Amino acid sequence: MTSRTPLAVAASAGACALVLGVSAPATAAPAQDDKAMVSVFHGIPGMTVDVYANGDELLGDFEPGTVTDPQALDAGTYDIQVFEAGRGPDGAPALEKEIEVPEGANATVAAHLGAGGEPQLTAFVNDVSQVDAGQARLTVRHVAAAPAVDVRAGGQPVFTGLENPKEDTAAVDAGTVNADVVLAGTDTVAIGPADLDLREGTSNVVYAWGSAEDGNLALKTQTFSGMESAPRGVNAGGDGAAVAPNSSDRWPAWAAAAGAATVTGVLVARRVAGRRV
């Protein structure tokens, strides 16, 4: 059964090119049994848009580099249409997909460029499960018109070979990290560097968005709070580097990030072949 409930979503401020946009953390409140928590990210440069869900306006004059706060949404199937601002709902949409929103999910729908520069919609599930004491969760999503990239922290690769529209995630030591994005297998910086504040008990989603050809690549961060667990006596080595709980190796959690499993999306997104009836 398709839901037609209008949505009122408040948008947060966007990020400038080569600057890490950090928005206030959203508390990851659990969705009700018949609801889901859904955010929208706009990562198409140079296009202010209006977003419609099942014919009802969801967002108006939505600016690039903006991510909304999570909002409770009825579980169900939604026909998402993205129009250039002021051209909907009777004109032809710039983007259209049917998105299934399952009960209890926390998800972000991203409007962004594909690797070749074509606009597209991708639905991601946000991991808001608990993290160990002294840690935060970091997820990087490649949604830019750019080739595969490596994500580095302190000059060391954390995620490697990340392609559009893929993501990778890891639990890491909480703290401030200097991060940048480089072309895969090289030291050629594509975005950054920028300081990333990974607070304890948060889940931080970093979007690499924009276009390499147009020179407007940027980062945007979406932060969820409330993932703290009870203190478990996080140890520190003699050099002050935090050691991940249950780890026998004395090295920062960043070093283990490359082996972390990728979060598997639960949302099903498919292109609508014809116009909405």
Residue 26: per-residue pLDDT: 58
Given pLDDT bands bounded at 50, 70 and 90, which one contains residue 89?
confident
Residue that the structure tokens 């709070």 belong to: 225
Give the Cα separation of 204 and 139 in Å (integer).
Answer: 6
Could you tell me which residue, 46 or 264, shows the higher pLDDT? 46
Burial zone of 125 (CB within 10 Å; 0-12 exposed, 13-18 middle, 19+ buried): middle
CB 130 within 8 A of CB 203: no
**Top-confidence range, 5-14, 24-33, 50-59:** 50-59
Token pair, residue 269, equals 């997104």
What average pLDDT is seen over the chain? 77
How far, in Å, are 16, 65, 124, 153, 222 from residue 25 at the CA level?
19, 16, 18, 21, 7
Give the Cα separation of 146 and 114 in Å (integer).
Answer: 8
pLDDT tens readout for residues 101-120: 889 999 999 999 999 999 99
Give mean pLDDT, residues 29-58. 88
- Exposure string over 39-75, b if 16+ CB within 10 A, otherwise e: bbbbbbbebebbbbbbeebbbeebebbbbbbbbebbb
Q: Is there a cis peptide before residue 165, judged by omega within 30 degrees of 0?
A: yes
Token pair, residue 265, equals 């999306």
How far, in Å, are 73, 143, 273 from residue 89 at the CA level?
21, 26, 17
Give the Cα separation of 88 and 139 in Å (integer).
Answer: 33
Given pLDDT bands bounded at 50, 70 and 90, which one contains residue 33?
low
Residue 159: its H or E element: strand 156-162
End-to-end CA distance of the chain: 15
pLDDT tens readout for residues 54-87: 999 999 999 999 999 999 999 999 999 999 999 9
φ/ψ of residue 188, rounded to 5: -80, 110
Q: 126: which residues sit within 8 A by CB, 6+ positions away?
A: 28, 39, 106, 107, 108, 139, 203, 205, 222, 224
pLDDT tens readout for residues 181-219: 999 999 999 999 999 999 999 999 999 999 999 999 999
| Domain range summary for the chain, segments of one domain joined by + | 20-271
